[in-house]
Amino acid sequence: MKTTLTLPTPPLELQARSQELLQLISQAIAANQGAISFANYMELALYAPSLGYYSGGLTKFGEAGDFITAPELSPLFGYCIANQCAEILSQTGGQILEFGAGSGKLALDVLTHLAELNALPNNYLIIEPSAELQQRQRQLLATKAPTLLKRVAWLNQLPENFTGVVLANEVLDAMPIHLFEIDEQAFYECEVGLQNEGLTWHKRMLAPDSELAKRILTLQKHYGNEWQHYVSEISLMIPAWLKSIGRMLNRGAVFLIDYGFPAHEYYHHDRNTGTLMCHYRHYAHSDPFYFPGLQDITAHIDFTLVAEGAIEAGLEVMGYTHQAAFLLNSGLLNELSRLALNDIEQFALAQQVKKLTLPHEMGELFKVMALGKNIEGELLGFSRQDQRHRL
């Protein structure tokens, strides 16, 4: 899984920090008989205190970072999310809870538009593990919407009870995953070990009664008739996370926005190297060992797994569609006409709409799933092209 791209070389001070994280990872490997699961490695690479990618203070979003998210691309995205939130809040009241708020741009746009709609939540809660990103979010809101900042609070854990809207934009893809390999009908977990003071892949045959082996066998029975040599991944964290959401939510809706597929596409025999992807300075590549802590590591989402986990958690799957349909259903064109005051703005916003909706951009790879509890009626964002049947 090594990359063949020539990637930019980090500055020496960042290389030194990555080396410090590598030492921490090496200690974890040594303490676990020479190898750790990829999920363990991914958690350290992304979230190790002060050293991980999301906890170490690096610039991640926008042109100066490693990737661009939909909220960074256009305020239209947040305004459409706000329209959907307003529909839920009108029925439930309550609050909005956002996971992993990034730069704070989605929170800013949602709150700004909800204020225009006279539909503000009681509070806008943010769960953000990075202290540096918390500060960026607070600064953005204080600068751009100081009157709304008083409604925003940062939490270290889930509230015990919650009513309202939960938002998770590109959150699930950053949850640690387990990698597996099937070779001659044997199941292996792809682990991380050491070789010549660097990181390397290590294969461990799975016991048939292990949780991971049982899940792989289930996938193989449903989708693996043509699997030969096959590598992919499974998230064990997403179902657990959904259970915690199900316990917390009294009444409301959860909106999950991420890139991924239903299981029959995810585990198609032609997708035989999985979906593991890394992002560094706007280069997408497949080497997760490149300067740990300095790059993002992600995998696509199995939305069938999400739907099954949601049902087990006591949540209803209320909608599933691609991002383009969700945004158009949620008033994208109305927001475009409302914001465009002249020809120059019209052109700029039209370019943003293309990025958000065209199939070869974000429009079809990104999906939106709605989960709910004690919510009545059809949801705005799924009024047309609801694709739950594809799960």
pLDDT tens track for 200-249: 999 999 999 999 999 999 999 999 989 989 999 999 999 999 999 999 99
Q: Which amino acid is at 284?
A: A
391 domain-assigned: no
165 and 214 co-located in one domain: no
Residue 247 and residue 363 share a domain: yes
Q: Is 123:152 a contact under the CB 8 Å cutoff?
A: yes
The verdict on residue 2 lying in a domain is no
Q: What is the CATH number of the domain that holds 323?
A: 3.40.50.12710
Give the position of tokens 């925003």.
152
Based on the fold, state whether residues 309 and 245 are members of the same structural domain.
Answer: yes
Let me know whether 76 and 51 are in one domain. no
Q: Does residue 102 share a domain with residue 34? A: no
Residue 363 has what DSSP assignment? I
pLDDT of residue 281: 85
259 and 138 in a common domain: yes
Q: 115 and 252 share a domain? A: yes
Give the CA distances from residue 73 to residues 141, 335, 356, in Å, rounded to whole numbers and listed in that order.
17, 15, 8
Specify if 5 maps to a domain.
no
Q: Are the C-beta atoms of residues 329 and 384 closer than 8 Å to each other?
A: yes
Domain that holds residue 276: 12-63+179-235+272-298
Distance CA 63, CA 58 (A): 13
Same domain, 308 and 333: yes
pLDDT 10s per residue in the chain (391 long)? Answer: 555 568 889 999 999 999 999 999 999 999 999 999 999 999 999 999 999 998 876 665 555 555 789 999 999 999 999 999 999 999 999 999 999 999 999 999 999 999 999 999 999 999 998 888 899 999 999 999 999 999 999 999 999 999 999 999 999 999 999 999 998 779 999 999 999 889 999 999 999 999 999 999 999 999 998 998 999 999 999 999 999 999 999 999 999 999 999 999 999 999 999 999 999 988 899 999 999 999 999 999 999 999 999 999 999 999 999 999 999 999 999 999 888 778 888 888 999 999 999 999 999 999 999 999 999 999 999 999 999 999 9
pLDDT value, residue 63: 59
Q: In the chain, how many domains are there? A: 2
Q: Is 390 inside any structural domain? A: no
Question: Are 227 and 330 in a shared domain?
Answer: no
Q: Which residue has the tokens 């909106």?
A: 255
Between CA 213 and CA 207 the distance in angstroms is 7
pTM, rounded to two decimals: 0.95
Question: Are the C-beta atoms of residues 176 and 142 closer than 8 Å to each other?
Answer: no
pLDDT score recorded for residue 60: 58
DSSP 3-state assignment of 6?
Answer: coil
Same domain membership, residue 200 and residue 53: yes
Is 33 a member of any domain?
Answer: yes
Q: Quick one: pLDDT at residue 184? A: 79
What pLDDT is recorded for position 64? 54
255 and 323 part of one domain: yes
Whether residue 309 is found in the same domain as residue 192:
no
